Amino acid sequence: MKKAPIVVIATIAMIFLHMVSAQFTVSSLQLTVYGDGYVKVHYEIIPSDYAAQINLPLLGKHYENFFAEDENGNPLNFMVENGSALIYQGNAQIVKVSYYTPDLTSKEGLVWTLKVSTNYSFTVVLPNNSVVVDLSDIPLSIAQNRITMPPGNQSISYILPYNDTHSGTVQESGGSRSYLLSALAGLLIIGGIFAGYRLRKSPGKGMQRPKLSRPEFMERLDGLDLNDEEKRALLYIFDKGGRASQAEVREALGIPKTTAWRMFKRLERKGLVKILKGRKENWVELRF
């Protein structure tokens, strides 16, 4: 008969501890969108004075490079499971959480759409010069490529920028008309690039395979200022005949999508590869 009150007290204590661990205030939420569709999610959280832990629901289903730290940059212990993160705040006054996810964006034709469902207002940072074509709600603020949206089920549709030496002129014109002109010009340029690529792939003028032997190519790699990961990527592309999809290389090396994307950009800046835009995925072609 005496066990019943103990059970009740224990149950109340567990409920109280759960409430304590779950209480916090999100002071800011920023989503930085990359050209390949990945999104960096960054929270700044103010814990309750009496909270021992923070139970933070996460956006998306897949999380890469998850990190939690206090206001001084000291790492905090955490556990990610079942779509949420349990963060042990310690003495932190501000908890900063960041991670990457590919689950918030989708693409149809040339149009990308970011979809977010959250109880907090949030700021989206789009790639520079992106053309916004649709918003699910009136934004709280908008400045260049930064858009702040209210809480709820929200979406932002946009077209990625194109390489245009007169982009400054388009930006200065302002308004929806400039967005339309930018979008139309982007479509024309993309169409020209695609037509040129089809011509390069016409019968009798296919891509030339590397003339070097594999040992000669490896010797050439040793003479370049590259890390091991970059050498492995280039050697894999060589073995595939001089061209491979980014997904193939990424899976062969076992590296995250954002890490691979940055690596390919570095190699392209060095003039070692050329990134070819495909309809469903990007390809990487050797240039040396």
pLDDT digits (tens, 9 = 90+) for 49-62: 777 788 899 999 98
Instruction: Quote the pTM value.
Output: 0.52
Q: How confident is the model at residue 202 (pLDDT cuts 50, 70, 90)?
A: very low
Is 264 contained in some domain?
yes
Amino acid at 55: N
Q: Are residues 188 and 244 in the same domain?
A: no
Q: Are residues 34 and 135 in the same domain?
A: yes
Q: Are residues 112 and 57 in the same domain?
A: yes
**CB half-sphere exposure, 227, CA atoms < 13 A:** 5
According to the model, what pLDDT value does residue 259 have? 87
Number of domains forming the structure of the chain: 3
pLDDT more than 90, % of the chain: 32
Q: Are residues 250 and 171 in the same domain?
A: no
Q: Which domain holds residue 111?
A: 21-159
Q: Are residues 43 and 61 in the same domain?
A: yes
Q: Are residues 141 and 30 in the same domain?
A: yes
Which CATH number characterizes residue 47's domain? 2.60.40.3650
Q: Are residues 171 and 143 in the same domain?
A: no
**CB half-sphere exposure, 182, CA atoms < 13 A:** 28
Q: Are residues 96 and 32 in the same domain?
A: yes
Burial of 158 (0-12, 13-18, 19+ CB in 10 A): buried
pLDDT digits (tens, 9 = 90+) for 210-239: 468 888 888 888 888 889 999 999 999 999
Beta carbons of 38 and 250 less than 8 angstroms apart: no
Is 175 contained in some domain?
yes
Is 206 contained in some domain?
no
Q: Are residues 41 and 25 in the same domain?
A: yes
